[in-house]
Chain A
Amino acid sequence: MAMTKKEKMNIFKGLAFISPWIIGFLTFTVYPVIMSFYYSFCDYSVFEKPLLIGFDNYIDLLFDKIFWISLGNTLYFAALSIPLGLIVAFIIALLLNAKVRCMAVYRTFFFMPTLVPIVASAVLWMWILNGQYGLLNNFLEWIGLKGPNWLQDKYWVIPALVVMGLWGLGRTIVILLAGLQEVPQSLYEASEIDGANYIQRIFNVTIPMVSPIIYFNVIMGIIGCLQVFSEPFIMTGGGPGRASTFYSFYLYQKAFEDYNMGYASAMAWILFIVILVLTLIANQISKRFVFYRGGD
C-alpha cells in the first residue's frame, strides 16, 4: 500500500519534532546501554582501553562478600521502608481526607520535607541522629529511654535511615490523598447502609479503590530503594563496617573510587535484572489484589 504524499509529509514532520529525543535517545541511552553491557565483560578503568575478560566480573561478583552484604542491606532497607512508609502515608492521607479545616496548612507541613535537597536533609538528620547532642536521643532521654548511637551502631543504622525516609513521605501522601478524593462517596454510603464500621470501610472500600496507587508506590519504592546512594554516601560512608553499604553506594565505590568500571557495569546489569524481577513479582501479586475501576 503506497503512502500518500500527506502521510509521507507527516512522517517527516513527526520525526522532525521528535528529533531532539531521537538524538538524546541514541547518545544518552542506546549507546550507553550497549557500552555498559560490553564493559560488564571487560576489565575497564576509564584510563585504559577496555579489555575483554568474559564472565570474570560476574563470577567475581558471585564470590564478592560485600556485594551480597550490600544486596542484603538494600533489600532489608526496602522491606522495612516500603511497607512502613505506605502505612504511615496512608494513615496521614486518611486524616487529611477527613474534610478537616485548613487542610492546605496541614498538607504543607507534611509536604515541606520533600522539598529539602537530599544533601541538606542528610546533614540535618546526621545532626538529629547524633548520639550525644542529637535531637532524637535527647528527646528519648527526656521520656526516659536511652537511644543508641544511631548512625554508628550496626544494628540501628538502617532503621535510622528508614525513620529519616519517613520524614520525606510528602509525595506519597499527596498522591494517596488525590486517590482518596476520587473514591466515590456513594460507595461509603452503600457500605454504611450495609452496616460496615469505619475500619471495615477502610479495608473493604478505601484500600481496594486506591490499590492501583498503592501498587504504583510499591513499584516506585522498589526502584527507589535499590538506587539509594546519597544517604549512605553522606551520612555513614557505608559504615559502621559495612552495615549501611547499599547496592548503589557499593556500585559507586567500585566505579569512581576503585575505577573498576567493568565490575561496576556488571553490578548495574544485575541491579537492572533485580529490579525487573521484583517488578514482575509485584505485578503478579498485584493481579490478585489490585482493583482497577472499569471504564472511567
Chain B
Amino acid sequence: MNENVAAQRLNRMIIYVLLVIGSIIFFTPFMWLLCTSFKPIEQTMKIPITWLPRADYINYDYKELAAFDVILVKVLEGPKQGKEVLVASDEFRDGKVTFMDEKGTQSYGAEPVPYNTLYLRIQQSLEIAEHGYMVKVVEGPKQGLRLIIREEEYCDGKVRLEVQEADRIFSRDYRCDIIKPVKKGWVKVVEDVEKGKSYCQLFSKGRSRYFEKVISKRDVLWSCIPKSEITTRIEFRLENYKILWNTIPFFKYLKNTLFVAVVGTIAMTFSSALVAYGFSRIKWKGRDFFFAVSIATMMIPFPVTMVPLYTIFKTFGMIGTLKPLWVPTFFASAFNIFLLRQFFMTIPFELSEAAIVDGCNEFQIFYRIILPLSKPVLLVVGLFHFMYSWNDFMGPLIYLNKPETFTLSLGLQQFQSKSGGAEWHLIMAMSVLIILPVIVLFFFTQKTFIQGIALTGSKE
C-alpha cells in the first residue's frame, strides 16, 4: 500500500515536471517576441543571442557616452558599392542606406553585416596583427587622416602608405604622429562629436548621436579603446514603438481592422441567430432540407469560390475597399447557424407558446425571449467571428490594394516584406501590438472561449 502511494506521488511529480516544461516551451516564443521588440537593432544581430535588451555605454575621456543605434552595413550599389559603412540604424531602412555624398543625401541598397560585438573590432575593420598604432598623418596626400596601422608599417616617425598618382600606385613613407598604441581586439569608437559642426545632421529627433556617418570620411574624430571600457546595462527601448508609430500608419490600420471586426461581429451574430431561429424554432415544410444544404456548404473549400467572389466584388466596385470583408457577414454563415441552432433547440418550446398567448409575434419571440436566453452561445459566435476577422489575412490580401485600407495583419505582412527581413525589432514590436488586444480579450472571456472551443470540437 505504502509503495502504491509513493508510486502515485512519483507519477504526480512527473506530470507536473512535464507540464511545466511544456508550458515553458509554449511560452518561450512570446518572451522572445517581447524581448526582441525592446532591443536595439544591433542587438538583434548579435551572436550569441541575448534575452534582455541592453544598452551600451563607453567610458571615454572620463565621460560616459551612449553607444547606440549603430549598424554596420555593406553598400550594394552606388559609388560606395562593396564598402562596409557604419551608419545610424534609422538611416538604414527598407534595405536601403541613406548618407550624404557629393550629390547630397542619397539612398543606396545595402545589407546588414553580422558582427560579434556592437562596435567594430579593429581586426575586422582594419588589418592589424597583434599590435599597432593609431596615428595621425601630418604630410602628403593623406594629411590629417587618422589611421590604424600595423606595428611593422611604422618606422622612425613615418608610416608607409600606398598613394595613387595618375594611374600608378606608389608606396611612400610619410611623417605621422602616434596618438596611441592599439591592440588586437580593441574596439573602435567614435568620439564625442557634439562640438563638431560637420555632424549637425546627426542630431535627429532631439538626441545627439555619437558616431561617424561614414568610416572613410576624412575629418572623423575617433579613437580606439579596450573592450573593458564598455559598460552594458539592461535597458528596454520603448523608443522602438515610437519609431514604429512614425514609420507606419498604425492607427489607420487599427481603425480599419476594428471597423471590419466590429461591424462583422454584430452583423454575423445577429444574422446567424435570425437564420438559426428559422431552422429551429419554427416547424415548416422544407426546413430540414434547407438546413442540410447549409451544412453541406461547409464542405466547399474557399479556393473554389475565391475567383468568382473576386469577380463579383470587382463588378460592384468593391475591390480596394473594406466592403468585401464585412458585407458577406450580413448573410450569416453555415457554421454559426449550426452552433446557434443546436442551442436554440434546447430552449423549452413552452416559452414560445406562452409568448404567443401573450400576443407576441414571431420576431418578438426571437428578439425578446430567445436572444436573451442564448447569451452564452451568442458570445461564443461573436467572439469567434471577432477573432477570425482580426486574424484574417487572405481576405485582406486579395481584396485590399491601397495602403490606406490595410488591416493590421496585412499591414504587418507588408511592413515585414518591405523591410527585407532586417528590422526585426520593429517587426516584433508591431506583432506585439497586434497580439496584445487578442490576449487581453482572451483573459476577459477565457471561460466562454474554452467552452466555445469544446463545443465546436465535440458536437460534430
Contacts and interface: CB of A to CB of B under 8 A. Distances in A.
A27 B282 CA distance: 25
Contact of B435 (A36, A116, A132): A116
Main secondary structure of the interface of B (DSSP, over half): helix
Interface string B42-56: 001111110000000
Interface stretch (A53-61, A64-72, A265-273, A282-290): A265-273
B278 A18 contact: yes
B413 A234 contact: yes
Given A17-B277, A100-B16, A117-B438, A248 B287 contact: no
B159 interface: no
* Chain A to chain B: the 5 pairs with minimum beta-carbon distance, closest first: A24-B331, A17-B278, A175-B457, A178-B454, A32-B308
Interface stretch (A75-83, A107-115, A154-162, A200-208): A107-115
A23 to B, nearest CB: 6
Contacts of A118: 391, 393, 409
Given A133-B46, A272-B301, A32 B275 contact: no
A95 B18 contact: yes
A291 interface: no
Contact size class for B? 35 or more
A259 to B, nearest CB: 10
Interface string B275-299: 1011100111111001001100101
B435 A127 contact: no
5 contacts: A39-B308, A44-B307, A112-B439, A113-B30, A127-B36
Given A29-B300, A120-B409, 6 more contacts: A15-B284, A24-B331, A28-B309, A100-B15, A234-B413, A276-B299
A178 B457 contact: yes
A120 B435 contact: yes
B284 to A, nearest CB: 4
Interface residues of A, number: 94
A120 B412 contact: yes
Interface in B1-49: 12, 15-16, 18-19, 22-23, 26-30, 32-33, 36, 44-49
Nearest to A164: B29
Given A7-B284, A265-B307, A33 B278 contact: no
Contacts of A230: 393-394
Interface in A143-196: 167, 171, 174-175, 177-179, 182
B330 interface: yes
B282 A109 contact: no
Nearest to B286: A11
A95 B15 CA distance: 6
Contacts of B285: 3, 7, 10-11
Nearest to B447: A104
A224 to B, nearest CB: 10
A98 B13 CA distance: 11
Contacts of A175: 453-454, 456-458
Given A10-B284, A36-B304, A100-B19, A46 B450 contact: no
Nearest to A28: B328
Contacts of B458: 175, 178-179, 182, 213, 216
B275 A20 contact: yes
B26 A112 contact: yes
A226 B26 contact: no
Interface string B184-225: 000000000000000000000000000000000000000000
